[in-house]
Amino acid sequence: MNLTFYNDEATWLHRLDPRTKIGGVLLIFVICLCFNHPLFITVILTGVLAIFTTAKSIKVLWKLRFLLVLLFVFSVVLWPFFIKGKTILFQWHGLEVSSESLLYGFAMGLRLMTFVSAGLLLLATTKNEEITNGLIRLGIPYPVAFALATAIRLAPTFADAGTTIVQAQVSRGLDLDSKNIFGRFKRFAPLAIPIFISAMRYTNFLAMALESKGFQPDAPRTSYYEPQITGRDWLVLGFLTLTLAACLYMRLSLHWGIIISGRL
Amino acid sequence: MQHALLMWKNTRMIVLTAVCAAIYAATLIAFKTVVPIIPGVTEVRVAGVFPMTFGFLFGPAGAWGLAIGNVIGDIFGGTLSPVSIAGFIGNFLMGYLPYTLWSTLIPVSNGTYAWDAKSVRNWLTYIVIAFISGAAAAVVIGAFADAIGMVPYSIISKIITINNFIGSLIGILLLIAVFDVTKNQLRLFWPEVMDVSAANTGMKASLGAWLVAAGCILGVFGGFVPGLSWTVVSWLATCLVIGGSLLL
C-alpha cells in the first residue's frame, strides 16, 4: 500500500509553507461554494488545473481520472431529479427535469471535481510529515498530530499484515472472489480478527517503547523541520483571500453565478 | 465528552487511537474503489465491521481513531473535500456513541458497562446502538453533503445508515471473538487503561442519549412526514444528535 500522492519536484508550490498550502486549499473550497453556475465553477476548476500544471503534478491528477469522471457523471445524473426549476424539459410519473436542475447538476459535478483536485494539489506538493507539521503549527494539539502521523506510518504495515493473512487463507481454500458483495463482506469479518489481534499486540509494544523514552503528551517540543512563512506565502494567501472577497461580492451583491437561489 | 478530552493525557490511549486509525484507514483505502455506491462519497464499507468494536472496547481512543482513520482514508483514497470535515465528526460519533450510550440508553440498556455474549439484552443493546450510531453519522454527513451540493440528503442518509448498520451487525462477530483477549490478556479495555468508571448513569446523560436517538429517528424517517422537507429534517436532526452527544 502506497500512502502518498507526493510528487517530488522543485516548483514554487512545493516550496510554500505547509500552513499556506492547507489554508490555500480551504480558501479554494470556500471559493467553490460561492457559485452554483457551471460557467463560474469551470473558471475556478481551470484555475486549479493551471496551478497543477505549474506544480508539474498533472500526472498525479491523471491517476484519479476515473474517479473524477465518475463524480461528474454521478452528479449530472442524480441532481436534476432532486432540484425543482422553472423551465421543465421533461416529466415522467412525477419525476421532472428542468434546464435549471440540469445546469445545477453540471455545476455540482464540476464542483466535486474541483474539490478533489484542490485536495490532491495539497497532497501532490506536500510530504506527509510537512502536513503534520503544518497542522501542529496551525494549532492542532501535539498528541492529535502524533496519532495522525503514527496512523499514517502504521496503515501500510497493517495492510501488509492483512494481505499476508488473506493470502494464507486463500491458499487454504477461502473463496474471496465470489461475485456476491454481501458474501464477500461476511467472509471478511473472520479475517479481521487476526489483523485486529496482531495490531493490538503492537499497541502494547509501542506504548512501552514511548513510555521508556519519557514520552509526555503535554511536554513542549521543538521540531527539526521548522518552515518559515515568507513573502511568497503572504502573496498566495493574499491573492486567494482577495479572490474569495471578489467571489462573495459577485454572489451576494451582484447575484452572479446563481442557477438555483437559496442553495450554496 | 469528558473522557474523550482526558484521554489525550494518556500515552496508551494515544497509541490506541493511532492503531485504531491505522486499521480503519488501511481497510477503507484497500476497499475504497472495490464497490463504490456513490463515487467519492461512500462505498460498500468493509471497514464498517470495526466502529462498534472499537467504540465499545477502546472508548474515546476508538472514537478519535475512527475520525482520524476516516480522514486518512479520504486523503489517500483521493477524496479529500469539505465533506471530510463532516466525515470526521460522523465517524467520531460512530465510535463515541457505542461507549456512551451503552450504559445511558435506559431502559434498552441495563445501566452497566459490560459485554456478555450470552445475554439477550446485551445483544439487543448492541443492535439498537449499532443502528443509532450508524444513523447519527449518516445524519451529520448527509446534512453537510447536501448543503454543499455533493449528494441529496434523502439518498445519502439512508445509504450510510444501512451501510453502517450492516457493517456493525457483522462486526458483532469481531467483538465476540476479541473481547476476552483484549480485556483479560492484552489489558486494553479502556476503563481499565484510563482507570475510570465507564458507566454513566446521570439524568443528563440519559437525556442526551434519548436526544441522540430521537435525532437519528427524525433524520432517517422525518422526511416522509407530509409538509416536512428533507433539508429542515436534516439540520434539526443534526442539532439533536450533536446537542445530545455533548450531554453524554
Residue pLDDT, tens place only, B31-90: 766 666 776 666 778 888 999 999 999 999 999 999 999 999 988 887 888 999 999 999
Most B-contacting residue of A148, A179, A264 (CB-CB within 10 A), to test interface: A148
Question: A5 at the B interface (CB within 8 A)?
Answer: yes
Do B70 and B95 contact (CB within 8 A), yes or no?
Answer: no
Which ranges of B32-107 does DSSP label H, i.e. alpha helix? 51-76, 83-101
Q: For B185, which DSSP code? A: I
Structure-block grid coordinates of residue A41:
465553477
Considering only alpha carbons, which residue of chain B is nearest residue A201? B186
Helices (H) and strands (E) in chain B, counts: 9, 2
Comparing A2-11, A18-27, A41-50, A242-251, the range with the smallest average pLDDT is A2-11
Burial A39-62 (b: 16+ CB within 10 A, else e): ebbbebbeebeebbeebbbeebbe
Tell me what pLDDT residue A91 has: 85
Using DSSP, state whether B135 is helix, strand or coil: helix
Considering only alpha carbons, which residue of chain B is nearest residue A81? B152
Give CA–CA dist B209/B204, Å, rounded.
9
Structure-block grid coordinates of residue A210:
514511548
State the DSSP H helix or E strand holding residue A65, giving kind and residue range, or none if neither.
helix A65-78
Residue A90 β-bridge partners? A97
Mean predicted confidence (pLDDT) in B92-106: 92
The total of structural domains in chain B comes to 1
Q: Choose among B40, B148, B154: nearest Cβ to A116.
A: B40
Using DSSP, state whether A10 is helix, strand or coil: coil
Share of chain A above pLDDT 90, in %: 55
A117-176 residues touching B, CB cutoff 8 A: 119-120, 122-123, 141, 143-144, 146-148, 150-159, 162
Rg value, chain A, Cα = 23
Mean predicted confidence (pLDDT) in A133-158: 91
The pTM of this model reads 0.92
List the domain range (segments joined by +) for residue B54: 2-247
Q: CA B248: distance to chain centroid?
A: 14
Cβ <8 Å between B39 and A67: yes
Do B61 and A36 contact (CB within 8 A), yes or no?
Answer: no
pLDDT band at residue A38, thresholds of 50, 70 and 90?
Answer: very high
Q: At B205, which amino acid appears? A: A
Give CA–CA dist B228/B167, Å, rounded.
30
Q: For B176, which DSSP code? A: H
Question: A217 at the B interface (CB within 8 A)?
Answer: yes
Give CA–CA dist B125/B123, Å, rounded.
5
Using DSSP, state whether A239 is helix, strand or coil: helix
Considering only alpha carbons, which residue of chain B is nearest residue A155? B22
Query: Using a CB-CB distance cutoff of 8 angstroms, which residues of chain A are in contact with residue B49?
Result: 188-189, 192
Name the maximum alpha-carbon separation found in chain B. 55
Most B-contacting residue of A177, A203, A206, A208 (CB-CB within 10 A), to test interface: A203
Give CA–CA dist A99/B63, Å, rounded.
44
Cβ <8 Å between B81 and A70: no
Tell me what pLDDT residue B33 has: 62
Q: For B149, which DSSP code? A: T
Most B-contacting residue of A114, A129, A185, A264 (CB-CB within 10 A), to test interface: A185
Domain ranges of chain A: 18-134+228-252, 144-212
Question: Number of CB pairs < 8 Å for A and B?
Answer: 197
Query: Which one, of B113, B148, B4, B120, lies nearest residue B68 by Cα?
Result: B4
* Residue A114 φ/ψ region, left for φ over 0, alpha for ψ in the -120 to 50 degree band, beta for the rest: alpha
